[in-house]
Structure 1
Amino acid sequence: MVPFRAGHLLPSVQGADSFSFHEERAFLRQRLVFLYKTLFVLSASFFGVTAGAGLLLHHRTWERVFLTPGACSHLLSILGALGCWLTCRNAVLSIRALKWLEGLALVGLLYLLKVSSYVTNDVYALLLGTTCASISRAVFIPTSVRRTFWLSLACALPDAPLLALSLHNRSADSILQPTVDALLWSAITVILATLVCRTIYGLRQQVRDAHRLGQYTLLEPLGAGSMGEVFLASHALLRRNTAIKVLRPDAGGQDLERFEREVQLTSQLTHPNTIAIYDYGRTADGLFYYAMEYLEGMDLAKLLAVSGPQPPERVIHVLSQVCGALEEAHGQGLLHRDIKPANLFLCRRRGIPDLVKVLDFGLVKQLGGTEEPGSAEGPVLAGTPLYLSPETFAAPEKVDARSDLYSLGAVGYALLTGHHVFEGPSASEICAHHVNTPPTPPEVRLGTALPADLCAIILRCLEKQPEARFSSARELRTALEACVHARAWTELEAEQWWEAQQDAELEKTFVRTNPLALSQTLVTDLSHRAA
């Protein structure tokens, strides 16, 4: 997995075209709940402290503490904040209703506090309340700069007149200076709130744009392929999850050509067991990406890590589906060249609980085409050493469709036994085993009896000479469907297995020490390597 945390993006309500209407409303509602909850807690705490001081320190009666006009106005503002908090949290409101609640309710609550400050002749509370409320709203609520300016101005307008009224018993000269000060502080409050909103609004836009690729917005990482990273994404208009594969920013020219070839060739494949490509694009700053269907489930590497060796009937079910996808690809002259458990994804879908999807055609090759972009200097070793066919290492220019069948046989071996066909401390040693060492029969490796027909099919796929293997994916699929245990893996068994995994949350128990964890893709120039 990718050691990266994109996080959940926080869109602004104005101009957040990468998010749906529902997501905008949910986000605004969440922020209003937080704002009014904060105002309720702070206002109630302030009233509680002042009331306690009046009762305990100044020995006032409860009537003088709770029944004065100022106290009643303060209590009404507290109840209003509580009502707004509960309404935003529990009621289903439209965006327009939420905006009215954000604007009028906030101004109304602040005016109640202003009345309380006016009655008690507390000038500092009057100005401080306006400043705190206006700046808090600019920080918490996602909105435009213009809306923030007008609402802040509406909040600050009564301060100077109320202050002048509270000083009506003084001389004109003594009233003028505090009134001018109040006007200045009100202007500062409006300017600060507007600047804060502009800064935060701009940062939100930058974050949104930084995580946006065309009509897609990246939400969180899903994994990594041979040439890039894969993210869960949201489309600006369509309400369905999408997976986005992004080419690494440091990728060179050959990687870019390979990445473009991957999406162009994969998009030609329409088999239900091949990942579907939706879109392809390039951002203004030159970042390449393509969009594909989002899959829910686990790849076969994770399946083996959390569940170990699989029943023979399930292995047949999985391998047969992969054969279908390879049959179409090979029929169009395309080789995958990186068949391994991590590139075979097991989906849980209604009606087909064990649907396999072939992923990551990043090393796909067209039969009859050039080996790699810019590979005129010599042949290139491409694939995962643990699943390479012997000819891929010994003579990569002679690789054909039977090489994919060898890799698929190695995947079947791993599914049956829980171990790689060959293991070793280095890639070169593993490749040497593929070229020279006969594989241990699956039943011997597992230490228990396995169906003879399925083991024979696996071992035939693992033959050193391509001529000794199955000639095509269709022939391999036909052989698998003729096994005794073919079609013995039922939908009911698959559903029960998935339910067991969900109940036990085994998807979270990927063990790093699992013997199948090491399966990195390798692309190596062999032009300077001795034969």
Structure 2
Amino acid sequence: MSTWIAPTDHDDITLDANSPFAIPMRPEVDSNTPIGIELQEGDTGETQGTNELLQTRLAGAALALGFGAGIFSLWTLLREVTSIEQHLGWFFIGLEITTAIALIGMGIWLYRVPSATCRCLRWCELAIFGLTSCLFALLHYLEIVFIVQDFSLIPQMPMGGWLILIFTYSIFVPRSWWVILWASATMSIFPIVATAVAIILHPDVRAAIGFDPSSLVEMVLFLVATIFASVSSVRMISYLREKAHEAKELGRYKLKEKIGSGGMGDVYLAEHRLMKRPCAIKVIRPEKAGDPKAIARFEREVRTTSRLTHWNSVSIFDYGRTADGKFYYVMEYLTGLSLQELVKRRGPLSPGRAVYLLKQVCNALIEAHGIGLIHRDIKPANIMVTELGGAYDVVKLLDFGLAKPITTSVNAPSEPELTVVGSLTGSPLYMSPEQALGEAQPDHRSDIYSLGGVAFYILTGKPPFLSGPTLKVLLAHIHEQPVAPSSQRKQGSAPISLELDSLVLRCLAKQPKDRFQSAQELLNALEALPEANEWNQKQAAQWWTCNCTHYQTSHG
């Protein structure tokens, strides 16, 4: 049994700014009304490690294109000097030399400058490939006109330069495949425009291509094939890198096998090479490695989780970056089941066991809220039940990737306040009304609501509001009142006390002021329930021994 299981259904969807399920507008407001939703830190893209990688790659691309343009300008100069008639002209030669010098100078500057900002690197990227595209477009135009006017031939489009340019971008610039597709398509517009200008300005070119348009068709097909090849190569390289993770080491850790995937990264079972201690390593996905926002969220998850020391929160051991720029962090390896898996396999829990587990989640939240962090994505899939140090039914709260500071303390690093129009953060089935509305910054009472939804799920086997379209679920959180969990229990199941019913419904109150005001207050209420002492370590050990093959084997 593994801690890390990839999301498989609607219950495990987490919305963030990049989610395909993101809701652009509230139904009750018009399209001009912005929704203020808090994003995770780092959406500005200012991530030091990613910037350094991009800066190095852009420097290499600028130098490669610059030296290539320089060699080509020398060849052009030699041809013009030895030829009786001028081919491209001295203006174009001067432009070639200027472009080569500019690219080489930009490459040297990128290598020498200590660290450029993300905005500066974006402009450098545009300048490097935009300048080269303009030069190639002018060359494309002059070559077509020269062939038709001087040789009266049907022009064969000069496409070698475009092949080099598009593949240089896909090889050097660390981007996801869809960004490569967009950039390659943009660069492919230049030769088409250059050809169109030649056709419009020169009747003889128009007549030649009109007589036999096959060269025009071949140019378009060549560009499409080049785009397809560059995007396919990027995707293949990403796939091979992902597979290579399974057979290589990350720092002091040896990867054994892939044990799960999430929206941000893949998780591997690993072992410390010297201590031989098993651990879990989360590595950012290859297709996410070039996305500054993804890197920022990944780093935020590491920093946030590492600040937590309570045994009911997952522990972070180490954090690093591979030679090829992949970020990873090392956490404790847990065997067991998430609450989502547990309920799906064994059905709703007994009230006593549910209370026993919920109290431990409260303990984890007391520490998190105490240092000014709200989780914002509490759901059954993010709560792990395991055996640890001879104790059974130990809860571990996972995935602080969406955690957000609610206060600024002396010891807490400052965090930027960012907003975006039209995005939601959290899991629809367990999202608080204030998260769904986006009218106010959610505080720690939003986590209380989500934990109430988890309590409802583990007692009944279903979320407070039944699955359906995402918008319908969000509207239910905002407007509909949940029913008592006891009304959803199957006949013959252990009964739920009125006190436990009231506790869950209070957690699910629409207004934050009507809920428990802290995790400590909720913990006190759980401890006062009639079910508080119905489940203990002895019963937990018996359950794990009888129901889990892993522990049957290890305990004989």
Cα shift readout 1:388-420 (whole Å, capped 9, x = no counterpart) = 001001026420000011110100101101111
Q: Is residue 2:315 matched to residue 1:276?
A: yes
**CA pair 506-209 structure 1, distance change in 2 beyond 3 A:** closer
Once the two structures are TM-superposed, the CA of residue 444 in structure 1 deviates from its matched residue by 0.9
Aligned length: 305
Give the 3 Å change call, closer, same or farther, for CA 452–377 of structure 1 in structure 2.
closer
Question: Which residue does the alignment assign to 1:244?
Answer: 281
Amino acid at match of 1:481: E
Confirm whether residue 293 of structure 1 aligns to residue 332 of structure 2: yes
Matched, 1:253 2:325: no
**Distance verdict in 2 for CA 1:504–1:228, change over 3 Å:** closer
Query: Which residue of structure 1 lines up, in the alignment, with residue 462 of structure 2?
Result: 419
Residues 407 and 506 (structure 1), Cα distance of their counterparts in 2 relative to 1, 3 Å cut = farther
- What is the alpha-carbon distance in structure 2 between the residues aligned to residue 504 and residue 294 of structure 1? 15
Compare 211-220 and 268-277 and name the one that shifted more. 211-220
Partner of 2:523 in structure 1?
A: 477
Query: Counterpart of 2:472 in structure 1: which amino acid?
Result: E
* Structure with max Cα Rg: 1
Aligned to 2:354: 315
Relative to the length of structure 1, the TM-score reads: 0.54
Match of 2:344 in 1: 305
The 8 Å contact of residues 263 and 277 in structure 1, kept in 2 or not, is answered as yes
Tell me which residue corresponds to 1:216: 253
How far apart, in 1, do the equivalents of 2:322 and 2:253 lie?
11
Question: What is the Cα deviation at residue 452 of structure 1?
Answer: 1.2
More off after superposition, 477-486 vs 498-507: 498-507
Cα distance change, pair 438–255 in 1 and its aligned pair in 2 (3 A): same
The within-5 A match list for 1:230-241 is 230-241=267-278
Letter in 2 for 1:424: S
Residue-by-residue CA offset, 1:441-489 (whole Å, 9 max, x unaligned): 1111124541111111111000011110000000000100111111321
Name the counterpart of 2:537: 491
Corresponding residue to 1:434 among 477, 496, 499 = 477
Q: Do the aligned partners of 1:226 and 1:362 also contact (CA within 8 Å) in 2? A: no
1:368 is displaced (CA, Å) by 4.6
Gaps of 5+ in 2: 8-242
Distance in 1 (alpha carbons) for counterparts of 2:405 and 2:465:
28
What does residue 393 of structure 1 align with?
Answer: 436
Q: What residue number does 1:383 align with?
A: 426
Instruction: Specify the code of the residue in structure 1 equivalent to 2:519.
Output: A
Contact residue 499 and residue 529 of structure 2 kept, 8 A:
yes
On the 8 A contact 1:371/1:397 being kept in 2, the answer is no
Q: How far, CA to CA, are the matches of 1:371 and 1:384 in structure 2?
A: 26
Partner of 1:152: none
**3-state secondary structure, aligned to 1:464:** coil
Find the residue that maps to 1:219 and give its secondary structure. Answer: strand
How far is the alpha carbon of 1:504 from its aligned partner?
Answer: 10
Cα separation, 1, equivalents of 2:329 and 2:381: 20
**Quick check: 1:459 aligned with 2:517?**
no
The alpha carbon displacement at 1:378 in A equals 3.2
Instruction: Report the equivalent of 1:229.
Output: 266
Q: 2:450 aligns with which of 404, 407, 413?
A: 407
What are the equivalent positions in structure 2 for 1:494-509 lying under 5 Å apart?
494-503=540-549
Please give the residue correspondences for 1:305-384 in structure 2 after superposition, counting only pairs within 5 Å.
Answer: 305-368=344-407, 375-378=418-421, 380-384=423-427
Q: 1:344 to 1:377 in 2, by over 3 A?
A: closer
Distance in structure 1 (CA, Å) of the matches to 2:358 and 2:246: 42
**Relative CO higher for 1 or 2, CA cutoff 8 Å, sep ≥ 6?**
2
Deviation at 1:425, TM superposition (A): 2.3
Q: 1:373 to 1:256 in 2, by over 3 A?
A: farther
Aligned to 1:129: none
Q: With structure 2 as the length reference, what TM-score do the two structures score? A: 0.52
1:364-401 deviation line (CA, Å, top 9, x unaligned): 11115799979444374111111100100102642000
Q: Which amino acid aligns with 1:482?
A: A
SS in 2 for 1:383: coil
Pairwise CA distance, 1:322: 0.3
CA change 1:376–1:341 in 2 (3 A) is: closer
> Which one-letter code corresponds to 1:487 in the other structure?
N
Q: How far apart are the structure 2 equivalents of 1:372 and 1:422? A: 34
Distance, in Å, in 1 between the alignment partners of 2:6 and 2:452 is 28
Unaligned runs of 5+ in 1: 4-205, 508-531
Counterpart AA for 1:235: H
Q: Which residue of 1 aligns with 2:131?
A: none
Q: Partner of 1:495: helix, strand, or coil?
A: helix
2: CA distance, partners of 1:209 / 1:498: 31
Q: Deviation digits for residues 123-166 of structure 1, max 9, x if unmatched?
A: xxxxxxxxxxxxxxxxxxxxxxxxxxxxxxxxxxxxxxxxxxxx
Q: Distance in 1 between matches of 2:305 and 2:292?
A: 20
SS at match of 1:347: strand
Paired-residue identity, %:
45
The AA in structure 2 aligned to 1:398 is Q
Residues 225, 360 of structure 1: 8 Å contact kept = no
Query: 1:105-116 to 2 correspondence within 5 Å?
Result: none
Deviation at 1:219, TM superposition (A): 1.4
Separation of aligned partners in 2, 1:272 and 1:461: 24
Whole-angstrom distance in 2 between the partners of 1:285 and 1:277:
22
